[in-house]
Chain A
Amino acid sequence: IQQLSNQCLSKDERDAYISLLERRMQHEPLQYIIGKWDFHFLTGLKIKKPMLCPRPETEELVELVLAEVGNLLRDWKEKRKMRILDVGCGTGAIGIAIANKYPAAVQVVALDVLPEAVDLSNENAEQFLSRYSAHGDSKLGVKSIYEAMLCSATHFTNNTTNTSRDLSKKKYKMNFDIVVSNPPYIPLKDMIDLSSDVVEYESYEALCGGVDGLNVIRDIVHRLPEWTFSSSLRAKHCWMEVDESHPRHLARWLSPGSVEARRCGVEYVESYTDFCGRDRFVKLRVS
C-alpha cells in the first residue's frame, strides 16, 4: 500500500480509473466493477453481472452445512463421496466454499437456470478446486469435486442429461446426502423497495421468488424426496437461506406429522437466525 500510494498514474491508468468511478457513480455494485470479491475462505471469487453478489449471510449458511458435513463424516460408512446438491448456484459460492473445506470427501453438483451462472460457477470451481484434483480422479479433473449444470429445480430428475458439450448424455444419481440452496426468495411486493444497485444490476430471476417469495422454494421441496432417495436410514437434510417471513410459513406448511408434510415427504425441522437476529435459515428433513 505504501508503494502504491507513492506511484504516479499514467494517463491511460487515470482514464481507466475514472471510467470505473463513473460506473460506481451509476450505483453499479463494487463487486461487478472489480470483477471479484471474497466469500468465506475463497479469496478472489469471480463475480459477473447479472449473477447475485454473495451476501455475508450466505457465509453462515455455508457454516451450517459444513457443520453437518463434519458430523456425517465422523460416521461415514459409504464407499462413495458425500454428495451435495446446490440449487441456484449463481457464482458457485456456496458449493465451492463447501468443497473447498472437504475436497477429498465431498462431491458437489450445482444447478442454475442461467447459462452464464453455470459457466461462472465452473470457472470459479476450476480456480479454487483444481489444486485438489491433481491426483486420483485426474481424468475427471475438478468435475470429480464440483460440477455445475444448466437445469432448473423442477426439471432435475434422474432422466436429466447434461447438455454441455463435454459431458453430454451424462445422468446424475439421485442419492444426494445434503441439499443446499440460496434460492430467489424476495416477495414480489418487496422488489420495488430494493435499492438501485441491486435491482438495476443483479438478475431479477435470482432475486424474486414470486408473490410470496416461495416459488422456487416450493419447487425444491417437491423434488427433495426424489433427489435424496436411498436405502440408507440416515436423515437427509435440506438447508436454505430464506426471507424473514418464510420460516413460519414453512413451519406451518411442513409441520411434522401434518397432512402436507406426509404428502410432500418433507418435514420442517427448525430455523436459525443470522447475525442480525433475523430468521434467515431453515432446515428441512426428508421423511
Chain B
Amino acid sequence: GKELSSLSAVSYLCERAAEIHAERVSLLELLAETKSAGGEEASEMEEEIKQELVDLDEQSTALSHKFLHSLVPLINPDDLQDLTALDAVIDIRAGTGGDEACLFAAELMASYEATARAGGGDDSGYGAKSWEVEVLSVSRTDLGGIKEASLVVSSSKGGGGGYNSFDSHQQEDIPQNDEELTNHLLSQLGPYGFFRFESGVHRVQRVPVNDVKMQTSAVSVAIMPSLPDHALPTALPPNELKIDTMRASGAGGQHVNTTESAVRVTHIPTGIMACIQDERSQHKNKAKALKLVAARVYSHRKEQETKDRSAIRSSLMGGGDRSERIRTYNFPQDRITDHRCKVSVSGVSSWLSGGGVVRNFAPYLYMMEREERVEKLEEEEIVNAKKQSRSGEKRKGSRTKSSH
C-alpha cells in the first residue's frame, strides 16, 4: 500500500517530466519554424515562445526538486521511526579549557533547554511542539559552570507532526522550495531527530572573564535516542544490570533512616553506567539512571553496527562521529560556524541565548546527509551496472563456447 502510493507519486512525476519534455521539443520545433519564417509577427512569436521555454525550465526545475524529494526524502526512511518519534537524551560534558569550558557548557545547556522548552519552534513560536525538558543529572562548578549534565527532551505524544511516511506524498504537499522544505522537515522531527546533529565537539573561542588572552575551549555533546519506558525492560533485561545504592551496610529497612538516595546502574555487558543522586526519592533516581543507561547502550550498539557495516565514508550518515569537531563559536568575531555544512551565522550571544542554533543548522545538515545518501545510491548504481554488463559478457562468452 505504502510502496504503491510512493511509486505512484514518482510515476506521476515521470509522466509530468515526459510531458514537459514533449512540450519543450514541440516548442523548439515551433521556434525553429518561426525563425526561418521571418518578419515582424514572427519575432513577436519568437519572444512568446522563448518566454514559454523559460516558464517550462522553471517547471522543470521545480519538478526535479520534487523528484529528489520523492525518491530520496530528507528523512532517511530507514530511520523514520527513530527521527520522528523518539525522545532525546542529551549528554553535555566540558572538555579542554578548565573553567571556561565549564562555563560554556552551562551556556550550551541553557541554550538547549530553551530550545527544547520552545518545542523546537522559532522566536515567534512558529513550528513549536509541546516538548518537556527534564534534567537527569548535573554537576556544577562554583563559578556557575557545569562539568557535565544529562537532560532528556520528551514530547508528550511521542514525536513531531505524526508524519506518516509516504502517505503524505501528495503533489500539493511536496515542498516547492527550500523554505517550505525546511519547515516541512522541522515539523516532522521529534526531539531526537531535531537534536541529533548536535553530537560532536563544540569549540568556543573567547576571552575569559578574568583574563585578556583569548582562549579556545571545547565542550562535547552526545545526542542519544531515549527509549520509551515500556521498552526499557526489553532493551535492558534486569539480569544484565547491576544496581548499587547507598544502603549496602547495616540492617536496612526500618532499622535505618537515611536521606542518601544515590543510585548507580551499570550495564554489565557494555560497562556503561549512570549514577544519579539529584532526586530525594531513590525510586526516581533509579528511573532516571535506567533511562540514561538505556539511551547510552542503544547509542553505543548503533555506533558498533555502523562501524561494522561496509565502509561508509560519510560523516553524517549513521549519526556522525562523536569526537569530531563540528562547530566553532567565535565570540570576538561574533560568528558561529558549522564545519560540516560550512554555514556561518553572526551574533553568537543572541543565537545561544535565544536557543535558535539547533533549528538553524539542522536543515543544512539534513540536506547534507541526503546528498551523501544520493551519492551512495549513485555509486551503487554504477557498481550494479558494471556487474550486469560483466555477467552479460560472461553469458555471451559461454554461449559462444558451447556452440563449438
Given contacts A56-B283, A206-B254, A275-B245, 12 further A-B contacts (CB under 8 A): A38-B281, A55-B256, A56-B282, A59-B281, A59-B283, A190-B251, A193-B251, A241-B253, A241-B254, A244-B251, A244-B252, A280-B252
Chain A residue numbers with a CB within 8 Å of B21 are: none
| Docked pose: A253 CA to B220 CA in angstroms | 59
Chain B residue numbers with a CB within 8 Å of A184 are: 254
Smallest Cβ-Cβ distance to A1: which chain B residue: B140
Q: Does B399 contact A (CB under 8 A)?
A: no
Chain B residue numbers with a CB within 8 Å of A55 are: 252-254, 256-258
Q: Does A262 contact B (CB under 8 A)?
A: no
Chain A residue numbers with a CB within 8 Å of B284 are: 38, 40-41
Tell me how far the C-beta of B229 lies from the nearest C-beta in chain A, rounded to whole angstroms.
13
Chain B residue numbers with a CB within 8 Å of A38 are: 279-281, 284
Chain B residue numbers with a CB within 8 Å of A43 are: 281
Show the binding face of A for B, using Cβ within 8 Å: 1-2, 29-31, 37-43, 52-53, 55-57, 59-60, 62-63, 182, 184-186, 190, 193-195, 197-198, 202, 206-207, 241, 243-244, 274-276, 278, 280
Chain A residue numbers with a CB within 8 Å of B280 are: 37-38
Check if B281 sits within 8 Å of A40, measured CB to CB.
yes
Chain B residue numbers with a CB within 8 Å of A39 are: 281
Check if B255 sits within 8 Å of A56, measured CB to CB.
no
A276 touching B252 in the complex, CB below 8 Å, given contacts A37-B259, A56-B245? yes
Picked from A182, A193, A202, the residue with its CB within 8 Å of the CB of B257 is A202
Chain B residue numbers with a CB within 8 Å of A275 are: 243, 245, 247
Smallest Cβ-Cβ distance to B280: which chain A residue: A38
| Docked pose: A62 CA to B261 CA in angstroms | 17
The proximity string for B residues 224-263 relative to A, scoring 1 for CB distances below 8 Å and 0 otherwise, is 0000000000000000000101011001111111110100
Q: Does B208 contact A (CB under 8 A)?
A: no
Tell me how far the C-beta of B255 lies from the nearest C-beta in chain A, rounded to whole angstroms.
6
Tell me how far the C-beta of A14 lies from the nearest C-beta in chain B, rounded to whole angstroms.
22
Chain B contacts with A in 38-59, Cβ cutoff 8 A: none
Chain A residue numbers with a CB within 8 Å of B243 are: 275
Check if B281 sits within 8 Å of A41, measured CB to CB.
yes
Chain A residue numbers with a CB within 8 Å of B247 are: 56-57, 275-276
| Docked pose: A39 CA to B261 CA in angstroms | 11
A278 touching B252 in the complex, CB below 8 Å, given contacts A56-B245, A56-B261, A59-B283? yes
Q: Does B144 contact A (CB under 8 A)?
A: yes
| Docked pose: A1 CA to B140 CA in angstroms | 10
Check if B257 sits within 8 Å of A53, measured CB to CB.
yes
| Docked pose: A195 CA to B255 CA in angstroms | 8
| Docked pose: A275 CA to B243 CA in angstroms | 7
